[in-house]
């Protein structure tokens, strides 16, 4: 075992700050998923490009990217300049400004098939806005979502997100405080199964307002849609008078500038964007066909929010998109993602470790103990999570910071130097697990 492998990853300062935090901040973390992260919820001092600096003196190569948004890393000069310039002109107006239509026009330019846009702050909010638009437009109430998909933390949609193999395919609340009445209009179906969708349309004829899907199941092991599946969903929605909604909170501005609209050529009625859209600032958007916004424009429904369209986030989004738009940026990120997967497969093959990586370009997942690509979230339940947990801790000791669920996010500031760090850390991690 190498010296580095024996090295202890000290979290003394993080643990101390977490204990203090718990005395004032419920849970000691600001989002539930950060609570049980081993070896402790880490406290960070600052971030620079693809690196994070924690309070115990570690410089960590970051493939979490803030759970996705930091597609340009931290402290990016273009975002800093845009935000700094806007700061001196105003934080928020609660009224109109040029930045709103400028960004809306830019989105229409880069997102194929998009004719209208609305802004909000988080993915959770934008999903709700899309569901409301769909219900108001169709005059129907039922919403179809799929097992293992995450669309934010609100009661009507946070069902059948994390499951046990024996759980039935029906809306299963994710936590306490979710009264059944609040998800009574939500139908849950297996993903990658158009026959199940056709059945639902038959069974609930004239009642389904919309279907919402992550186009790549990034929150459930990065399963990919089967050829024709996404197009099939959109067509079934059109045939049955329902609205198709692609939740591109993760994939938007990440797998391509135009997300799956660009790389799969599919045109859902509505798409939801957040995370990478503003490179790390809070901004979300619903974008799609003009007709799908009709109920908003004719006053049948409303969309509101104090911070909607705030100029700081919009300035960050314009800078992010213009930076991502430069030639070669996506090719570079995709090549980096593939290179990491090649490294992982090369070292796992050498050590006889059974695993598979699944995903697309800049977002992929690693699953231990299986070697067939999972088609659905349920298939991922066969993976060996404990092996991943050990791998993740070994990677942390090797200086690489990963998410607890096996997902990797690649960004524009990850380069060859970072690949070398990953290579050494992966080799060491497999060496440890073998020894």
Ligand X SMILES: Cc1ncc(COP(=O)(O)O)c(C=O)c1O
**Looking at the annotation, which residues are catalytic?**
150, 247, 275
Residue pair 186/143 in contact by the 8 Å Cβ criterion: yes
Number of H helices and E strands in the chain, helices first, is 14, 14
Which stretch, 5-13, 247-255, 341-349, 356-364, contacts ligand X (CB under 6 A)? 247-255
CA 260, distance to chain mean position in Å, is 13
- Choose which of 56, 100, 147, 214 interacts with ligand X (CB under 6 A): 214
Looking at 149-157, 260-268, 288-296, 376-384, which segment touches ligand X (CB under 6 A)?
A: 149-157
Binding mask 70-109 for ligand X (x = CB under 6 A): ----------------------------------------
Of 114-143, which residues contact ligand X (CB under 6 A)?
Answer: 122-124, 127
Q: Whole-angstrom Cα distance, residue 354 to residue 104? A: 46
Nearer to ligand X, 60 or 222 (CB): 222
Per CB under 6 A, 405 contacts ligand X:
no
Helices (H), 88-193: 98-110, 123-138
Instruction: Give the pairing of strands 59-62 and 270-273.
Output: unpaired
Closer residue to ligand X in complex, CB, 12/33: 33
Q: Smallest distance, Å, CB 272 to ligand X?
A: 7
314 versus 426: smaller Cβ distance to ligand X? 314
Element containing residue 434 per DSSP (H, E): helix 416-434
- 313 makes contact with ligand X (CB under 6 A): no
When binding is defined by CB under 6 A, the residue of 76, 135, 151, 267 that contacts ligand X is 151
- Segment interacting with ligand X, rule: CB under 6 A, options 2-10, 13-21, 144-152, 426-434: 144-152
Q: Which CA distances in Å does 407 have to 9, 22, 351? A: 21, 27, 22
Nearer to ligand X, 285 or 400 (CB): 285
The single-letter DSSP state of residue 433 is H
Residue 274 interacting with ligand X (CB under 6 A):
yes
Quick check: 244 binds ligand X (CB under 6 A)?
A: no
Contact 193, 169 (CB under 8 A): no
What is the DSSP annotation of 40-58? Answer: -PPPEEEEEBTEEEETTS-
Q: Under DSSP, is residue 266 helix (H, G, I), strand (E, B) or coil? A: coil
Peptide bond connecting 267 to the previous residue in cis, omega within 30 degrees of 0: no
Binding residue (CB under 6 A) for ligand X from 65, 158, 211, 250: 250
Count, residues near ligand X per rule CB under 6 A: 13
List the one residue out of 361, 359, 345 whose CA is nearest residue 405. Answer: 359
Choose which of 41, 73, 152, 215 interacts with ligand X (CB under 6 A).
152
Q: Return the residue nearest ligand X (CB atom).
A: 123
| Cis before 39? omega within 30 | yes
Residues in touch with ligand X (CB under 6 A) = 122-124, 127, 150-152, 214, 219, 247, 249-250, 274
């Amino acid at each position: 075992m190498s010296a580095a492998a024996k090295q202890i990853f000290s979290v003394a300062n993080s643990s101390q700050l977490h204990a203090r935090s718990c005395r004032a901040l419920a849970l000691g973390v600001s989002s539930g998923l950060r609570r049980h992260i081993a070896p402790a919820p880490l406290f960070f001092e600052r971030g620079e490009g693809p690196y994070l600096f924690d309070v115990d003196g570690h410089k960590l190569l970051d493939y979490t990217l803030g759970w996705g948004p930091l597609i340009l890393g931290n402290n990016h000069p273009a975002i800093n300049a845009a935000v700094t310039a806007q700061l001196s002109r105003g934080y928020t107006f609660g009224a109109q400004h040029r930045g709103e239509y400028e960004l809306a026009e830019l989105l229409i330019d880069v997102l194929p098939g998009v004719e209208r846009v609305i802004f909000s702050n988080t993915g959770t909010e934008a999903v709700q806005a899309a569901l409301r638009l769909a219900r108001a437009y169709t005059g129907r109430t039922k919403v179809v979502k799929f097992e293992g998909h995450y669309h934010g933390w609100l009661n009507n949609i946070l069902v059948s997100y994390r499951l046990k193999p024996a759980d039935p395919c029906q809306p299963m609340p994710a936590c306490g405080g979710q009264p059944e009445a609040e998800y009574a209009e939500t139908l849950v179906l297996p993903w990658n199964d158009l026959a199940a969708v056709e059945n639902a349309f038959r069974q609930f004829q004239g009642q389904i307002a919309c279907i919402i899907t992550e186009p790549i199941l990034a929150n459930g092991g990065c399963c990919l849609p089967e050829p024709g599946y996404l197009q099939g969903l959109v067509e079934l929605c059109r045939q049955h008078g329902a609205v198709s909604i692609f939740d591109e909170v993760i994939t938007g501005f990440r797998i391509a500038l135009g997300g799956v609209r660009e790389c799969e050529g599919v045109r859902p009625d509505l798409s939801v964007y957040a995370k990478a859209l503003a490179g790390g600032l809070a901004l979300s958007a619903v974008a799609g066909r003009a007709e799908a916004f009709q109920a908003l424009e004719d006053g049948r429904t409303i969309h509101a929010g104090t911070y909607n369209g705030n100029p700081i986030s919009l300035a960050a989004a314009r800078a992010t998109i213009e930076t991502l738009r430069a030639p070669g940026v996506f090719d570079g990120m995709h090549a980096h993602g593939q290179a990491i997967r090649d490294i992982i497969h090369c070292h796992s093959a050498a050590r006889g470790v059974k695993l598979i990586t699944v995903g697309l370009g800049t977002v992929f997942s690693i699953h231990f103990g299986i070697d067939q690509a999972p088609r659905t979230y349920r298939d991922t339940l066969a993976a060996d999570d404990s092996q991943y947990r050990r791998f993740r801790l070994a990677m942390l000791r090797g200086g690489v910071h990963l998410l607890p669920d096996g997902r990797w996010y690649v960004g524009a500031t990850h380069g060859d130097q970072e690949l070398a760090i990953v290579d050494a850390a992966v080799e060491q991690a497999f060496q440890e697990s073998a020894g």
